[in-house]
Amino acid sequence: MTLGFLPFARPTIDEQMISGIAETVRSYQLTSGPQVQAFEKALSDYHGGRPARVVTSATAGLELALLACGIGPGDEVIMPAQTFFACANAISRTGAKPIFVDVELESRNMDLKATKAAITPHTRALMPTHFAGHPLDMDALYALAQQHHLRVIEDAALAIGTRWQGKPIGSFGDIASFSFHPNKNMTSIEGGALVFANTEEAEKVERLRFHGIRRLPDGTRDVDVVGAKYNMPDVHARLGIAQLERLDEFNARRRLLVARYFERLSDRFSGMLPIKGDEGHSWNMFAPLLPLDRMTISRAELMKALHQRGIGSGISYEAVHLTTAYRALGYKEGDFPNSERIARETLTLPLFPMMGLEDIDRVCDALLELTPQ
């Protein structure tokens, strides 16, 4: 199917999904209820039976996971400088301090050698991002965490359905946080989920996501832990259930589309394309680096020119340590060269299952025309 304007991301929502949402609205069960319970069971089943809890966003999930681990003021959490702002914000909101490290240029995943060097007596956890759906080396990650007795909270916002050595991310390890924003591989309109290694922490998050409320035997309620309101509505969960049923299909389609990107762009963009990975890569996005040194226009001008041709694009991502909030911690240009290069040169191209190969060709034709050899 040839599409009109190509945004860089778009969810796949069919009439059956829309009917399911309408049915849920007509049930008058709009807030958390049976659909949330069913969605959590489906997520648990997908991840090998591990307990899952859905929340309003992956950002909320990261914050709740940190709180469930007892992380707060005086603690440090190591994370990549090349990721979305949500990770650093979640850490900061608990009172802990984000400690940035550089990423590997090709995979854009956290450099584990740099991570090891950044560990101090105050380090309590590692928060790696599985960038664009490509998994970090999980064996090396967990060996490092175990060596230093650290918790691991995986930012898997871009990695629902990603597999490491055949196993879904979240089906092993410590805690994984997923996103169901409309630009992710599956959506619940807005929303996220945490998958845990143990039920006790899942139950703690269940209370933290709804005001810290605990029901007493006499039917009254108590609050013995300060919570917030991060519970997912049933309407969102109903869509999430339907999307999860098609997740593997969506991801297979993404891999097929990305193969055409590599076929068309590998010569011109040699050394600037993201890591290919294997069949476990879920390809949330495709974001090559631009050959700015031989371009006659800036990235912003290129994005405008693509838009004029009916092609959307994005930036994934700016360097977190160079934002105003985190420069205040003493970070500056030159601290993390790979993260900063990616921030300067990256461009996110359209990628979503409804695209056809002719749409990929259209993007590539425009990009090759606008970026000289």
pTM, entire model = 0.96
Q: Is 315 helix (H, G, I), strand (E, B) or coil?
A: coil
Give residue 258's pLDDT. Answer: 98
DSSP 292: G
Annotation says 116 is catalytic: no
Do the Cβ atoms of 45 and 193 come closer than 8 Å?
Answer: no
Q: What is the rounded distance in angstroms from the CA atom of residue 139 to the CA atom of residue 173? A: 10
Q: What is the rounded distance in angstroms from the CA atom of residue 42 to the CA atom of residue 54? A: 11
Classify domain 15-245 at the CATH class level.
alpha beta
Query: What DSSP assignment string belongs to 102-140?
Result: -B-TTT-SB-HHHHHHH--TTEEEE--B-GGGPPP-HHH
**Strand-pair partners of 176:** 154, 195
Helix H segments across 217-336?
234-245, 247-265, 299-308, 324-327
Looking up tokens 């918790």 gives 151
CATH no. for 247-370 = 3.90.1150.10
Burial tier of 74 (Cβ tally within 10 Å: 0-12, 13-18, 19+)? exposed
Which of 318, 313, 268 has its CA nearest to residue 294?
A: 268
Give residue 373's pLDDT. Answer: 73
Angle (CA) 340 345 351, round 5°: 120
**Strand-pair partners of 153:** 175
Do the Cβ atoms of 177 and 198 come closer than 8 Å?
Answer: no
Give residue 2's pLDDT. Answer: 58
* Structure tokens given for 276: 């290919």
Do the Cβ atoms of 163 and 169 come closer than 8 Å?
Answer: yes
Q: Angle 247-265/357-370 helices, nearest 10 degrees?
A: 40
Name residues of the chain where pLDDT drops below 50.
Answer: none
* Structure tokens given for 114: 């740099």
Which amino acid is located at 24 in the chain? T
Q: What does the domain layout of the chain look like in residue ranges?
A: 15-245, 247-370
Do the Cβ atoms of 170 and 193 come closer than 8 Å?
Answer: no
Q: Do domains 15-245 and 247-370 have the same CATH topology?
A: no
Burial tier of 185 (Cβ tally within 10 Å: 0-12, 13-18, 19+)? buried
CA dihedral 296, 298, 302, 303 (to 10 degrees): 180
Identified catalytic residue from 41, 184, 229, 332: 184
For CA atoms 13, 262, 167, 130, the dihedral sign is negative
Give pLDDT tens digits for 121-175: 999 999 999 999 999 999 999 999 999 999 999 999 999 999 999 999 999 999 9
DSSP 321: G
